[in-house]
C-alpha cells in the first residue's frame, strides 16, 4: 500500500480531496497521484483500455462463428437444437440480475453504504455461481449425449431425439450404439462386419451395405434367458419421417409408402417415391442395416431393401435385454459417375424449376423439424466446437469475476471502500458488465437460431 | 465537489457519476423484458434472416443499455466512449474483411467431388 498511510476517516470528510489534503482522504490513495480523483481517473482509463482489449479478444471467436455460419448455415440450424433455450434464457436473466447488483454495488460504494455494498457484492457472487452451475448442467448433458467438439463429437441422439449409431458405445440407455475400438479405429460389434466398414464421417453417402443374417435375444427384459426369439427393429425412416413427408406432400397415398412390413422388391412407383423423399441425408450414418423382422420374407426374396437411416436396436441397458446381431456387410456399390445433365436434352433440368413439386411450401420450421430427425450434416462438430470455445471462454471470465468479487467482498467487509476510494468496485463492475454484454450476444447467436 | 453522503442521488458526486436507483432498476427491468421478448420472437416464423435481424437488434439494444447506464458511459468521459467504440469498429472490421476474403475464394472449395467447381467469375485460365 501507500507509504503515506493515514487514518481512514471513513470518507465522510473528503471535501478537500482535490487538494493535497492527505490527512483526510482514504489511506488507499497512492502518493504518486495528485488526489483521489486523479487515482480514480487513471484506473478508469486503464480498465476501459482493458475492456477494449476484451472486445477484440472475443471478436476472434465471433469471426469464427460468423464465418462458419455464413458458409454452413445448415449446421447451425441443425445443431442448435442440442442446446436448451430454457437454460440459456435462465442464465441470461441470472447474469442481467447480477449486472444490476454489480452496478448497485458501485452506487453503494460511492455513497459509503457499506452494508448495502456487502449485500450487493454477495448477491453478484451468488448469481455468478448460479450461472456456472447451470452451465455445468448443460455441459454435462452434452457430455452424456456425446454432442462434443472435434473428435469427441459422436452424438448418441439427433437434436430431434432420434438415436444414432455411434462410434463409442458410451450412450446410456441408448439402443443403437456400436462398440468401437478407438485404438484400432474399428467397430467391434454392431450390425457391421468389421473389415468392410468405413466409418469416415467426412465421406458423404452410405458407406457399407449390411445384411443382417441373424438376431438373437439371449435375455429378455426380466433378465431371463430366451432362445430363438426375434424382436422388431426400430425403423425411424418409415414410421415417422415418411408419414410427415406424406402429410406435407398432401397426398393420401399411405399405401404407397413402403414400410418394412410391406416393402418387397421396390416397384417403379416406390422407387420414384424414395427418390422424391430420401429418408434423410445419409451423410453421417455410417452403415445401413437391413430390416430383419421377417426372415421368411427375405428367404422368398421379398426382404426390404436397405434404406439409409434404419437403426437397429440391439442392446438395451435399461431393460437388460441382451440382443446379439450377426450381419454380413459388403462394400457399398460404387456410385455411377454423374452423367452430363446436358446430354439428355429432353430432361434438362431447368434452372429455377423444382425437381419436386410439393402440394404446399414447407415452412422453415417444418424443414428444420425434418432435418433434426436425421443424422448430423457434415462438419456438425464445428458448431459444438464453436459453442464450447465461446461459452467456455466466457465461463472462464465468469470464474475470474467470482474471484475478483470475493476479493472485493473481503475488502468491503474490512471497510476499505469509501466515497473517495471505490475504484476497485467500479472497475470490477465494469469488467462484470462486459462479461454480461458478451453473453447478451452469445445467447441469441447460439441458442436462438431459427 | 462537496457531495455528501446525504445527497444519495446527486449526479455530481465528487469523483464519478452516481447512478440513481430509478435508472438502475429501469435498466435491469428493461433488459429482462428484452430477454423475454427475444425468446418469444424466435417462436414466430419471420423467415430465417428476419428472425436473425430481430434477435440482433434486440441484442444490440440490450448491449447499448448496459453500456450507457450500468457502465455509466453516458455520464463518463467522451474519451472512454472513443476507446470502446473504436474497439467495436475494429471487431466489425475483422468480421467484415474476413467474410469478404473467404467469399472471394468460395468457388475454389470443392463441396461435392462429382461436381466440378464453377469457373471463377471474371477470371479465365490461359492455356
Q: Please state which of the ranges A45-59, A96-110, A181-195, A433-447 shows the lowest mean pLDDT.
A: A181-195
Nearest CA-CA distance, residue B71 and chain A, Å: 6
Q: Does A339 touch chain B (CB under 8 A)?
A: no
pLDDT of residue A378: 72
The whole-number average pLDDT for the span A200-205 is 36
Strand partners of residue B30: none
pLDDT of residue A424: 95
Spatial contact of A17 and B14, defined as CB atoms under 8 Å apart: yes
Which residue in A444, A445, A446, A447 has the most chain B C-beta atoms within 10 A of its own C-beta, making it the best mutation to test that interface?
A: A444
Q: Spell out the long-range contacts of A217-226 with Cβ–Cβ below 8 A and sequence spacing 24 or more.
A: A217/A321, A217/A322, A217/A323, A217/A324, A218/A322, A218/A323, A218/A324, A219/A320, A219/A321, A219/A322, A220/A321, A221/A316, A221/A319, A221/A320, A221/A321, A222/A320, A223/A320
Q: Does A103 touch chain B (CB under 8 A)?
A: yes
Rounded CA-CA distance A105/A114 in Å is 9
Rounded CA-CA distance A370/B119 in Å is 34
The answer for residues whose C-beta is within 8 angstroms of residue A190's C-beta and 6 or more apart is A165, A177, A178, A179, A312, A314, A325
pLDDT of residue B117: 58
The whole-number average pLDDT for the span A254-271 is 40
Q: Please state which of the ranges A129-143, A316-330, B11-25 shows the lowest mean pLDDT.
A: A316-330
Strand partners of residue A216: A324
Rounded CA-CA distance B36/A283 in Å is 37
pLDDT of residue A431: 97
Rounded CA-CA distance A73/A449 in Å is 10
Phi, then psi, of A3 in degrees rounded to 5:
-65, -35
Residues 29-88, chain B, touching A (beta carbon < 8 A): 31-32, 35-36, 38-39, 42, 45-48, 51-52, 55-56, 58-59, 62-63, 66-67, 69-72, 76-77, 79-80, 83-84, 86-88
Chain B residues closer than 8 Å to A441 by CB: 59, 63
The whole-number average pLDDT for the span A72-86 is 88
Which residue has better confidence, A320 or B101? B101
pLDDT reading at A449 higher than 70 = yes
Chain A residues closer than 8 Å to B66 by CB: 99, 433, 436-437, 440
User: DSSP letter string over A271-286?
Assistant: HHHHHHS-SS-TTS--
The series of mean pLDDT values per 10 residues for chain B, 127 residues long, is 41 76 96 95 84 94 96 92 95 88 65 60 51
Q: How many CB atoms lie within 10 A of CB A112?
A: 20
Rounded CA-CA distance A206/A287 in Å is 6
User: DSSP letter string over A147-181?
Assistant: --SGGG---SB-TTS-B---SS---TT-S---EEE
In this prediction, does ipTM exceed 0.85? no
- What is the C-alpha R_g of chain A? 31
Rounded CA-CA distance A78/A380 in Å is 8
Rounded CA-CA distance B66/B73 in Å is 9
Rounded CA-CA distance A328/A171 in Å is 24
- pLDDT tens digits for A143-194? 888 888 887 887 877 787 766 666 655 666 554 444 555 555 554 544 433 3
- Nearest chain B residue to A113, by CA: B5
Q: Does A281 touch chain B (CB under 8 A)?
A: no
pLDDT of residue B87: 96
Rounded CA-CA distance A101/A314 in Å is 54
Query: Is the pTM of the predicted complex or chain greater than 0.90?
Result: no
Using DSSP, state whether A188 is helix, strand or coil: strand
Nearest CA-CA distance, residue B125 and chain A, Å: 22
A66–B88 CB contact, under 8 Å: no
Nearest CA-CA distance, residue A259 and chain B, Å: 31
Q: Does A188 touch chain B (CB under 8 A)?
A: no
Which residue has better confidence, A171 or A93? A93
Spatial contact of A178 and A167, defined as CB atoms under 8 Å apart: yes
Phi, then psi, of A207 in degrees rounded to 5:
-110, -10
Q: Does B93 touch chain A (CB under 8 A)?
A: no
- pLDDT tens digits for A345-379? 444 444 554 444 445 555 666 666 666 666 677 78
Which residue has better confidence, A393 or A72? A393
Rounded CA-CA distance B16/A110 in Å is 8
Write out the three cell numbers for A120: 450487493
Q: What is the largest CA-CA distance in chain B?
A: 85
The whole-number average pLDDT for the span A90-113 is 96
Q: Where are the alpha helices (DSSP H) in A169-242?
A: 236
From residue A274, give the alpha-carbon distance in Å to each of A286, A293, A298: 19, 21, 20
Which residue has better confidence, A141 or A217? A141
Task: Quote the strand ranges of A34-185, DSSP E.
Answer: 179-181
- pLDDT tens digits for A332-343? 444 444 444 444
Phi, then psi, of A157 in degrees rounded to 5:
-135, 155
Rounded CA-CA distance A139/A87 in Å is 11
Q: Does A430 touch chain B (CB under 8 A)?
A: yes
Beta pairing, strands A209-219 & A288-289:
parallel
pLDDT of residue A370: 64
- Nearest CA to B4 among A347, A11, A189? A11
Rounded CA-CA distance A421/A136 in Å is 37
User: DSSP letter string over A368-425?
Assistant: HHHHHHSPPPTTTHHHHHHHHHHHHHHHHHHHHHHHHHHHHHHHHHHT--BTTB-HHH
Rounded CA-CA distance A404/A102 in Å is 12
Write out the three cell numbers for A61: 471467436
Write out the three cell numbers for B97: 474483411
pLDDT of residue B44: 84
Spatial contact of A237 and A310, defined as CB atoms under 8 Å apart: yes
B27–A66 CB contact, under 8 Å: no
Strand order in the sheet with A209-219: A288-289, A209-219, A321-330, A315-316
Rounded CA-CA distance A164/A172 in Å is 13
Spatial contact of A175 and A316, defined as CB atoms under 8 Å apart: yes
Q: Does A97 touch chain B (CB under 8 A)?
A: yes
- Nearest chain A residue to B25, by CA: A100
| Average pLDDT value over all residues in chain A | 66
Q: Which residue has the cell 465528487?
A: B14
Q: Does A55 touch chain B (CB under 8 A)?
A: yes
Q: Does A112 touch chain B (CB under 8 A)?
A: yes
From residue B24, give the alpha-carbon distance in Å to each of A96, A124, B30, B59: 11, 15, 10, 19
Q: Does A127 touch chain B (CB under 8 A)?
A: no
Q: What is the DSSP letter of A81?
A: G
Nearest CA-CA distance, residue A98 and chain B, Å: 10
Q: Which helix (H) or strand (E) holds B23?
A: helix B21-41
- Nearest chain B residue to A92, by CA: B35
Task: Work out the percent of chain A whose per-residue pLDDT is above 90.
Answer: 34
Write out the three cell numbers for A447: 441458442
A71–B102 CB contact, under 8 Å: yes
pLDDT of residue A313: 35
Q: What is the DSSP letter of A363?
A: P
- Nearest CA to A55 among B75, B63, B2? B63
The whole-number average pLDDT for the span A230-259 is 39
pLDDT of residue B71: 94
Amino acid at each position: 500500500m501507500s507509504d503515506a498511510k493515514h487514518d481512514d476517516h471513513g470518507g465522510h470528510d473528503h471535501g478537500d480531496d482535490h487538494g493535497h489534503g492527505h490527512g483526510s482522504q482514504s489511506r488507499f490513495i497512492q502518493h504518486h497521484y495528485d488526489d483521489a480523483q486523479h487515482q480514480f481517473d487513471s484506473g478508469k482509463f486503464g480498465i476501459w483500455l482493458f475492456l477494449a482489449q476484451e472486445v477484440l479478444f472475443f471478436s476472434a471467436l465471433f469471426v469464427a462463428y460468423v464465418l462458419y455460419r455464413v458458409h454452413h448455415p445448415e449446421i447451425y440450424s441443425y445443431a442448435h437444437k442440442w442446446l436448451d433455450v430454457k437454460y440459456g434464457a435462465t442464465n441470461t436473466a441470472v447474469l442481467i440480475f447480477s449486472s444490476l447488483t454489480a452496478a448497485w454495488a458501485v452506487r453503494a460504494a460511492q455513497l459509503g453504504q457499506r452494508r448495502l455494498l456487502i449485500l450487493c457484492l454477495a448477491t453478484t457472487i451468488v448469481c455468478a455461481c448460479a450461472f456456472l452451475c447451470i452451465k455445468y448442467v448443460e455441459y454435462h448433458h452434452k457430455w452424456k449425449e456425446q454432442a462434443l467438439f472435434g473428435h469427441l463429437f459422436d452424438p448418441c441422439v439427433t437434436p430431434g431425439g432420434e438415436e444414432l449409431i455411434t462410434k463409442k458405445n458410451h450412450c446410456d440407455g441408448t439402443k443403437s450404439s456400436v462398440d468401437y475400438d478407438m485404438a484400432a479405429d474399428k467397430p467391434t460389434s454392431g450390425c457391421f462386419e468389421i473389415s468392410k466398414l468405413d466409418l469416415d464421417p467426412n465421406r458423404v453417402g452410405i458407406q457399407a451395405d449390411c445384411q443382417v443374417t441373424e438376431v438373437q435375444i439371449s435375455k429378455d427384459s426380466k433378465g431371463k434367458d430366451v432362445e430363438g426369439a426375434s424382436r422388431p427393429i426400430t425403423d425411424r425412416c418409415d414410421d415417422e419421417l415418411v408419414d410427415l413427408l406424406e402429410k406435407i406432400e398432401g397426398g393420401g397415398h399411405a399405401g404407397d409408402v413402403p414400410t418394412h412390413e410391406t416393402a418387397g422388391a421396390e416397384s417403379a412407383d416406390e422407387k420414384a417415391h424414395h427418390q422424391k423423399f430420401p429418408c434423410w441425408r445419409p451423410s453421417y450414418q455410417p452403415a445401413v442395416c437391413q430390416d430383419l423382422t421377417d426372415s421368411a420374407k427375405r428367404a422368398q426374396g421379398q426382404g426390404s431393401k436397405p434404406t439409409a437411416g434404419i437403426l437397429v436396436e440391439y442392446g438395451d441397458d435399461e431393460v437388460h435385454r441382451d440382443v446379439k446381431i450377426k450381419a454380413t456387410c459388403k462394400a457399398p456399390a460404387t456410385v455411377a459417375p454423374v452423367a452430363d445433365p446436358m446430354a439428355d436434352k429432353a430432361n434438362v433440368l431447368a434452372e429455377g424449376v423444382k425437381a419436386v413439386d410439393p402440394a404446399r411450401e414447407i415452412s422453415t420450421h417444418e424443414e428444420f423439424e425434418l432435418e433434426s430427425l436425421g443424422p448430423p450434416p457434415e462438419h456438425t462438430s464445428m458448431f459444438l466446437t464453436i459453442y464450447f470455445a465461446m461459452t467456455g471462454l466466457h465461463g472462464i471470465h465468469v470464474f475470474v469475476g467470482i474471484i475478483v468479487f470475493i476479493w472485493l467482498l473481503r475488502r468491503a467487509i474490512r471497510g476499505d471502500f469509501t466515497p473517495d476510494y471505490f475504484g476497485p468496485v467500479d472497475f470490477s463492475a465494469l469488467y462484470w458488465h462486459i462479461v454480461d454484454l458478451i453473453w447478451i450476444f452469445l445467447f441469441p447467436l447460439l441458442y436462438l437460431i431459427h | 465537489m462537496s457531495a455528501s453522503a446525504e445527497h444519495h442521488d446527486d449526479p455530481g458526486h465528487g469523483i464519478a457519476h452516481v447512478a440513481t436507483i430509478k435508472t438502475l432498476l429501469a435498466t435491469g427491468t428493461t433488459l429482462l423484458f428484452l430477454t423475454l421478448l427475444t425468446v418469444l420472437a424466435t417462436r414466430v416464423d419471420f423467415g430465417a434472416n428476419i428472425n436473425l435481424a430481430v434477435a440482433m437488434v434486440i441484442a444490440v439494444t440490450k448491449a447499448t443499455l448496459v453500456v450507457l447506464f450500468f457502465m455509466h458511459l453516458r455520464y463518463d468521459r467522451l474519451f472512454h466512449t472513443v476507446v470502446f467504440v473504436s474497439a467495436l469498429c475494429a471487431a466489425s472490421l475483422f468480421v467484415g474483411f474476413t467474410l469478404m476474403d473467404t467469399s472471394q475464394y468460395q468457388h475454389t472449395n470443392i463441396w461435392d467431388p462429382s461436381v466440378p467447381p464453377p469457373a471463377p467469375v471474371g477470371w479465365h485460365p490461359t492455356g
